[in-house]
Structure 1
Amino acid sequence: MIFLITKFFLPSFIKQINELIAVLPGYLNQVQEFLDRQQAGIDRGSLPPEIKKSLLIQIDSLEKSVAGILKSLLATLWGISSHLFDFLLAPILAYYILKDVHNLKKNILGYLPVDFRDEAVIFLKVCDHVFGRFIKGHLLICLTVGILTGLILYILKIPYSFLLGLLAGIMELVPYFGPILASIPILALALLKGKVLFIKTLLAIVLIQQIEGNVLAPKILGDSLGLHPLTVIFLLLCGFNLGGVLGMILAVPVAAVVRNLYFLFRWRGNSLEVDSKNFGKV
């Protein structure tokens, strides 16, 4: 994986970041010219002074917001590229942690009373299984959305399609707000290329998000955790209404843990042997 990233993806990623840094002032100038034209049109218009003043204030606010968003995006992309070494270091750290995981388990269980150790092991196994499958499922969703976004942007001939697809995949880790934030630079670049391209890009983003929210997430997470897609949708809605973004993140895995523990301890009460590999299939 490190070889493939270094050979194919890293050079393209760095190249597109450098290109974006080089052309960013030009994009900012185009945005500034567009806002100046709108401002000049308002000045020449026959609107009442109060409305003119309000519109000019809104344009000035929009100008500052766009500049701030583009600068924040650039800083974020540069921050990601500067931490690539950390991403490459993660598998090495994971290897040593997994190598000594049995000693870590023994040390942790040694602090617990003997009567509770069996239940603690069962609880940790269920949590490990559920959250592990949840993370894998969510990463698969991010990968799918990133590839779809990059491919569609490439077909629409929007510049930096690889970089924007990567950004969309990463921002998918942030529920609800992530896709919205990722769509802002995409739509901004499309608008600079023309209104028709902007509408096509907007429809494409809406389509991808509808597929992700109504098909991919319920199906992938449901299959990973053994939950029906409708149950996943219901849990996401309840989690968001009860706990906001954090509730939305935790609703599905917590519900799966509670469900699996319920069936597990019910089976234990009936003296049935349970295979931990079948937790997700309950």
Structure 2
Amino acid sequence: MLDTISKLPKWLTRGLVLPLLVLNGWLLILVFEYFQSLITIFATATLLSFILDYPVRFLEKKGIKRAIAILIVLLMGILLFSIIGVTVIPILIDQLNGLLDRLPSYVASGSEQAKAFEIWADERNFPVSVSSIVADALGRISYQLQQLSGQILGSVFSVLGSLVDLLLTIVLTFYLLLHGNELWEDLFRIFPEETADKIRASLKQTFNNYFGGQLTVASVMGVVITITFFIIQVPFAFLFGLAVGIMALFPFGAGLSISLVSFLMALKSIWLGLKVLAIAFVVEQIVESVIAPRLLGEFTGLNPVLVLVSLLIGAQLGGFLGLILAVPVASFIKSLWTIFKSINEHLEIPVEV
């Protein structure tokens, strides 16, 4: 069978590849949708075990056995999330509800500013008519923001309500921390030893660089932006600062969230919106230009278009978790392609003429 396929013209074999890839991709999507809950639990536990392995190894270096170190880290993590859930989450929900209550007044203020601009332009013989267009656009944007906020609140409560999934994730995280190395070794045995070593090194480097660096960058961005918003007296500074920090986990996320916050503040006051945009943009550029390159480097090797496409696919397949994993997975797939291409080139035997 393979000999027959190898005798076919190259254009025909390449033409057969695309339908097969599409078919296999479609089947994978169907399998993913069927087992989405289990896949989400496993992916979340894998990500948590990867992140928590850092403090576990730190405790191991202090002479603590790995099993005890894992229990200490998990208990500290549960305690930390419980404290955040009791202290931070209520503040965020309160500020989010406050933002939703004030949103109609912000929209009305934005419409008034558009009318004032139209009057100013008319007095100077500039034929500008934007008030009706702006009012309609603001109404649509207000509706979309309210829908999005409702979805966020619903997602938070649904996550908090799924106690069984939460317990399964914690238990699976514990066992991945304890026996994860053996699991990965068994999975990599399907490849030749040299190939397996390259794949493992690429996987480790990709996820280490991305999550280690991206979490640090996002934390710095969130803290600095929050403090900055408090200093310049931006309403709902804590909510907006945390939103920018979370969005900074993803490529293009920080700039998008800063633009949205600036737009909301511009509805209240155009000068406040411009001030927020200018200051937050400067902070973002400092973090992205000074801190991010030292931590992230050019590890992805992905074209910005491919980064954006991977984010869209990740969001479609896995929601928020898909967004977090999209870029490192895409980068790892590219590394796999490079590894297998290199192996294939080495295996090719030159034909003597």
Residue 30 (structure 1) aligns with:
106
1:61, distance to aligned residue in structure 2 (A): 3.8
8 Å contact kept, 2:106–2:264? no
| Matched letter for residue 198 of structure 1 | G
**Per-residue displacement from partner, 1:225-275 (whole Å, max 9, x unpaired)?**
xxxxxxx29x76x6115x3524794599559958x97xxx9xxxxxxxxxx
Residue 282 (structure 2) aligns with:
207
8 Å contact kept, 2:206–2:328? no
Q: Matched residue of 1:149: which SS?
A: helix
**Per-residue displacement from partner, 1:83-137 (whole Å, max 9, x unpaired)?**
5547965554322223332453454355x3xxx5312430232023212312221
Question: Pairwise mapping of residues 1-282 of structure 1 onto structure 2 (< 5 A)?
Answer: 1-8=77-84, 10-36=86-112, 38-39=114-115, 42=118, 45=122, 52=129, 55-56=130-131, 58-79=133-154, 81-82=156-157, 85=160, 90-105=169-184, 107-109=186-188, 112=190, 116-134=191-209, 135-176=211-252, 178-192=253-267, 194-222=269-297, 232=298, 239-240=303-304, 243-246=306-309, 249=327
Aligned equivalents of 1:180 and 1:69: distance in 2? 19
After the TM superposition, list the runs of 4 or more consecutive aligned residues in structure 1 that deviate by more than 6 angstroms: none
Aligned equivalents of 1:179 and 1:95: distance in 2? 32
**Per-residue displacement from partner, 1:173-205 (whole Å, max 9, x unpaired)?**
2312x2233124422443355344333211121
Bigger drift between 194-203 and 77-86 goes to 77-86
8 Å contact kept, 2:247–2:257? yes
Aligned equivalents of 1:240 and 1:165: distance in 2? 25
Residue 276 (structure 1) aligns with:
none
8 Å contact kept, 2:248–2:254? yes
8 Å contact kept, 1:17–1:77? no
1:157, distance to aligned residue in structure 2 (A): 1.9
Change (3 A) 1:186 1:58: same
8 Å contact kept, 2:109–2:267? no
TM-score normalised by the chain length of structure 2: 0.55
Change (3 A) 1:66 1:252: closer
Aligned equivalents of 1:197 and 1:51: distance in 2? 24
1:23, distance to aligned residue in structure 2 (A): 4.9
**Per-residue displacement from partner, 1:202-237 (whole Å, max 9, x unpaired)?**
112111221233222211113xxxxxxxxx29x76x
8 Å contact kept, 2:240–2:261? yes
1:168, distance to aligned residue in structure 2 (A): 1.0
Identify unmatched segments of 5+ residues in structure 2: 1-76, 312-326, 344-353
8 Å contact kept, 1:130–1:253? no
Change (3 A) 1:69 1:215: farther
1:141, distance to aligned residue in structure 2 (A): 1.2
8 Å contact kept, 1:146–1:168? yes
| Matched letter for residue 139 of structure 1 | L
| Matched letter for residue 212 of structure 1 | V
Change (3 A) 1:60 1:23: closer
Aligned equivalents of 2:182 and 2:92: distance in 1? 45
1:78, distance to aligned residue in structure 2 (A): 1.2
TM-score normalised by the chain length of structure 1: 0.67
Aligned equivalents of 2:271 and 2:255: distance in 1? 21
Aligned equivalents of 1:186 and 1:253: distance in 2? 30
Identify unmatched segments of 5+ residues in structure 1: 223-231, 266-282
Change (3 A) 1:71 1:117: same
Q: How many residues align?
A: 243
Change (3 A) 1:172 1:193: same
